[in-house]
Structure 1
Amino acid sequence: MDKISLFGLLLGITAIVLGQVLEGGHIGSLIQLTAFLIVIGGTTGAVMLQSRAEDFIAGVRLAKWVFVPPQHDFRKVLGVLVSWSQQARRGGLLALEPYVNAEKDPFVKRGLQMLVDGAEPEVIRRALELEVDAYEERARAAAKIWESAGGYAPTIGILGAVMGLIHVMENLSDPAKLGAGIAVAFVATIYGVGSANLLFLPISNKLKHHIATEVRRREMLLEGLYTIANGENPRLLESKLAGFVH
């Protein structure tokens, strides 16, 4: 659990609600279903319109990384690569074959399989580089839906505000209906700006960080497997990859 993400979200919402109360306002005045439907529904629709279905679905699934991020232990990865290098030096590349079937990560499994099959080092490097680039492109496209939502939400909020004011103008002769229209107008703006800056844009930036870390992990594995394929000394491998750990 990423506690700082959870704490940050709660702190942001609490600060806004507490500010409303300290100014003598009521929490209930910030709860407006019509404004919520306009802003969230309109923003979701705009994001879906601009995105491919697979990118939209992947982006929604990636959101869990904000609170339950993937674990990246670079020191552990380095230890595994050094161990593989030592075994390959002692028993040849075929000594790594038992690890192929035991490996759950498809990226690592593919690299190990190419090692065991005797592929040339440059062929292994090129194949894994293409896979890293493809992963990064897919992941960033998925994370972009949250950045896009952060761009659309404030504008949709303004649209909701205008709609509320139109409702007010249509009912100038009936003062009892003016309050509801004005409430929609102002609360829609709050929802648009608030959701963009407290939710959508922070989620996007957090996902970009985790994606960059995952890409770095894969690059580390790529360099390690390439070094093993070249038959270099395990100590040299450890020295080359130390920068990833730090």
Structure 2
Amino acid sequence: MVDRTTILGLAALAVLLAWMVFAGAGMAAGAFWQAPSAAFVVGGAVVAGLIASPAVGPRRLARVVRKAFVSQETSPEETIITLVALAEIARRDGVLALDKPVSGLRDGFTRRALQMAIDGTDRQTLETVCQAELESLDLRHAEGKAALEAMAKFAPGFGMMGTLIGLVVMLGRMDDPGRIGPGLAVALLTTLYGLGLANLVCLPLARRLAYRSSRELLTKTVVVKGVLGIQAGDNPRVLAGKLRAYLPGGGEGREPWASLLPPAAPEAAASETGASSAEATGSAT
């Protein structure tokens, strides 16, 4: 699913920049484009970022950038609803009854965790395996984000280098005063490209990936706690309360939890009614 927020945000930044350029330069806005300067800044920042982040190759960097624009994750709220429904099945028919519904789950991590519970894996082993996978996921996300942050750090430096190169070239042509102004403008463009790449592209995408990573880790933490609760035979309503505590604000006002939770069993309701009547009778006597 395309992340419209990221696309619209970058588009808004591009529109603001274009408006600033056209408002200041008018029909001469084409002077703000210099392909060699742009290639020097972008190419230099990408190569330097890859050198600084050896664990991230070109293909993986492309996947990291793509992930900022495409969201395939399940929200923590949807995950809780799914786990509560599975807990109701496990409580009613046993954990082995989850085999068929689990096979149809979209998220691989959730499938693997629940399959370990179905296979009878002990609680400690299940939790250890899942936590190891979460740590590995967090490390991969940190590496991708670090590559973008490195590019943001190096881009202004390459812009400044391009500007200095342009100034050296311009100063070597001081015998032609008519070329000093255009030469200085071209030299300064490289600095503009470096600042733009860092602050309009790399840093926003890095922050977006950090947010996406925190959401994914939260969702998978909810999965681990939910699977452990299902394995322990927790009441679905109790399990929902535990998992909801992981949401910001405890999930209050985020989902109609009462309508999504399974109804209380008739036997439990009858016993609660009987207990209440007995208490009322005792207090009356």
Q: Is the pair's TM-score, using the shorter chain for normalization, greater than 0.5?
A: yes
TM-score by length of 1: 0.91
2:166 maps to what in 1?
Answer: 164
Quote how far apart the aligned CAs of 1:179 are.
4.6
Letter in 1 for 2:131: E
Q: Is the 8 A contact 2:50 2:56 kept in 1?
A: no
1:221 maps to what in 2?
Answer: 223
Taking the aligned partners of 1:16 and 1:113, their CA distance within structure 2 comes to 51
Taking the aligned partners of 1:27 and 1:51, their CA distance within structure 2 comes to 36
2:103 maps to what in 1?
Answer: 101
Larger radius of gyration: 2
Relative to structure 1, is the Cα distance of residues 170 and 141 closer, same or farther in structure 2, using a 3 angstrom cutoff? same
Relative to structure 1, is the Cα distance of residues 226 and 201 closer, same or farther in structure 2, using a 3 angstrom cutoff? same
Once the two structures are overlaid, the 10-residue window that deviates more, 196-205 or 139-148, is 139-148
Relative to structure 1, is the Cα distance of residues 61 and 43 closer, same or farther in structure 2, using a 3 angstrom cutoff? same
Quote how far apart the aligned CAs of 1:116 are.
1.2
Taking the aligned partners of 1:90 and 1:11, their CA distance within structure 2 comes to 52
Relative to structure 1, is the Cα distance of residues 62 and 123 closer, same or farther in structure 2, using a 3 angstrom cutoff? same
Counterpart of 1:45 (choices 40, 44, 47) is 47
Identical-pair percentage: 28
Quote how far apart the aligned CAs of 1:150 are.
0.7
Taking the aligned partners of 1:177 and 1:201, their CA distance within structure 2 comes to 36
Q: Is the 8 A contact 1:34 1:184 kept in 2?
A: no
2:126 maps to what in 1?
Answer: 124
1:87 maps to what in 2?
Answer: 89
1:9 maps to what in 2?
Answer: 10
Q: Are 1:205 and 2:207 counterparts?
A: yes
Relative to structure 1, is the Cα distance of residues 24 and 222 closer, same or farther in structure 2, using a 3 angstrom cutoff? same
Quote how far apart the aligned CAs of 1:100 are.
4.1
2:142 maps to what in 1?
Answer: 140
Letter in 1 for 2:241: S
Quote how far apart the aligned CAs of 1:137 are.
0.8
Structure 2: 5+ residue stretches without partners: 252-285
Q: Is the 8 A contact 1:55 1:142 kept in 2?
A: no
Letter in 1 for 2:144: A
1:113 maps to what in 2?
Answer: 115
Q: Which has the higher contact order (CA 8 A, sep 6+)?
A: 1
2:271 maps to what in 1?
Answer: none
Structure 1: 5+ residue stretches without partners: none
